Structure 1
Amino acid sequence: MFIVLFRTIILYLIVVLSMRLMGKKQIGEMEPFELVIAIMISELASLPMQDTRISIIRGIIPILTLLFLQTIFAMLQLKSEKFRLLLSGKPNLLIDKGKLNLKELKNEKFNLNDLLEELRLQGYYNLSDIEYAILETSGKISVIPKTNTEPATKEDMKIQFTQEALPITLVLDGKVNTENLKMIHKNSKWLKDMMKKNNIHSAEKILIAMLDSKGKFFYQLKN
């Protein structure tokens, strides 16, 4: 039993490291060759876990080989446009100048119901509002709406606005994040003053406190 446990831990760590080295893409954003390698790695890792007669090295070596191949392919894609097209293909226009491209839909095995569903998920309910719909190499669809249907921006309407910033967590579960305080050029005294203004006597009572995207102090107590 302990041998199986040990083998599982080792293979788990190797698979996690391999996927981490492959990058931060989610499954739905992987290129075809990346998805194939991810599936093969998971299969290769599961075999030595289930069958102790298989040497753990026979599971590790193929995983490392696939990781090496993925790294080589990724480098070749960066350097060669032709290799990138060969391995990942190219984006396809499913809607071109407001018209459905039936040839591309047929080539990509993409039916109209699937296309309409994807468009609805992105907030487009009418085909007449869309100028271009592009099937990316990751399988996701990018939409370029017709100019006259695009929502007006604050800049278009000449409304004054200030750019929102990233929210910064200052206290989490009673613990003060001093690094984030330094990031916003504040200190513990400033934080204590903000707590005092909101009748908070101790940081330990705070579940979360942060500066939101508009620069306002937001907090919630544990109780």
Structure 2
Amino acid sequence: MFIVLIRTVILYLLVILSMRLMGKKQIGQLEPFELAIAIMISELASLPMQDIRIPIMHGVIPIVTLLVLQTILALIQLKSEKMRAILSGKPSVLVKSGKIDILELKKEKFNINDLMEELRLQGYYNLEDIEYAILETSGQLSVIPKTELSNVTKSDLKLSVTQDSLPITLILNGRINKENLKIINKDENWIKEQLKKNKISSIKDVFLALMDSKGKFYYQCYENNDEK
């Protein structure tokens, strides 16, 4: 009995440590590969707890291996946008300008009833009130309402407004995203000029640069967390 108690405590602490090292995320925010690893770790820990005939190291070694694998994959995702897309996928725009993208809905195996339920849970009852509804890689739905209908409504105040757009990443980890530059009809010379205006000599010094929802150029450098 005492042996079972000790084994349970050791494995419990190991699982807690593993979950802690995976980062501060709720279950619903885990990426697919993170969720798979979390489930596998819990299964591997339960087997030696239930059967004392299984050496405890047969549970410890696979758990540590999965933890190391998850750490390596997380680091790769930080460095490579392509690997992040392969491992975690990309956000999908299900609603744009009040219209459902039927092909994207089918691609994500997301039916209309589920979509409408998610929108209602977030307080939106009419599709025409929504500018974007985005299915994130975690499976959560993000909703961007039309600007004139957002809280405190500018239409009530009779103010002229411009529609917010999706933020577009231009530089990540010191690398230019050429495809996104094409989306905003800009080239590398333009982004170099923007960096020059902000006294940044090298693209490699930039951790993140994007065009925000208001059309403004935002950047953050590696050194001293400089940002604007």
Task: State the TM-score, normalized to the length of structure 2.
Answer: 0.66
Query: Are residue 124 (structure 1) and residue 124 (structure 2) matched?
Result: yes
Q: Report the CA distance between 1:125 and its aligned residue.
A: 1.1
1:122 maps to amino acid: Q
Equivalent residue number for residue 70 of structure 2: 70
Equivalent residue number for residue 84 of structure 1: 84
Equivalent residue number for residue 22 of structure 1: 22
Whichever of the two has the greater Rg, that structure is 1
Equivalent residue number for residue 216 of structure 2: none
In 1, the alpha carbon distance for the partners of 2:153 and 2:58 equals: 58
Percent pairwise identity: 74
Q: Report the CA distance between 1:148 and its aligned residue.
A: 2.0
**In the TM superposition, what whole-angstrom CA distance separates every residue of 1:98-149 from its partner, at most 9, and x where no partner exists?**
2101111111110111111111111111111111100000000111111221
Extract structure 1 runs of 4+ deviating beyond 6 A: none
Query: Are residue 60 (structure 1) and residue 60 (structure 2) matched?
Result: yes
In 1, the alpha carbon distance for the partners of 2:52 and 2:19 equals: 24
**How many residues are paired up?**
156
In 2, the alpha carbon distance for the partners of 1:74 and 1:3 equals: 36
State the SS of the aligned residue for 1:90.
coil
Query: Are residue 147 (structure 1) and residue 141 (structure 2) matched?
Result: no
In 2, the alpha carbon distance for the partners of 1:99 and 1:27 equals: 30
Correspondence 1:130-141 to 2 at 5 A: 130-141=130-141
Equivalent residue number for residue 182 of structure 1: none
State the SS of the aligned residue for 1:8.
helix
Q: Report the CA distance between 1:150 and its aligned residue.
A: 1.3
For the 8 Å contact 2:97–2:128, the answer to whether it is kept is no
Equivalent residue number for residue 196 of structure 1: none
Unaligned 5+ residue runs, structure 2? 158-228
For the 8 Å contact 2:131–2:146, the answer to whether it is kept is yes
Q: Report the CA distance between 1:152 and its aligned residue.
A: 1.8
Equivalent residue number for residue 106 of structure 2: 106
State the SS of the aligned residue for 1:142.
strand
In 1, the alpha carbon distance for the partners of 2:69 and 2:138 equals: 19
2:145 maps to amino acid: P
Task: State the TM-score, normalized to the length of structure 1.
Answer: 0.68
In 1, the alpha carbon distance for the partners of 2:82 and 2:101 equals: 25
In 1, the alpha carbon distance for the partners of 2:96 and 2:131 equals: 6
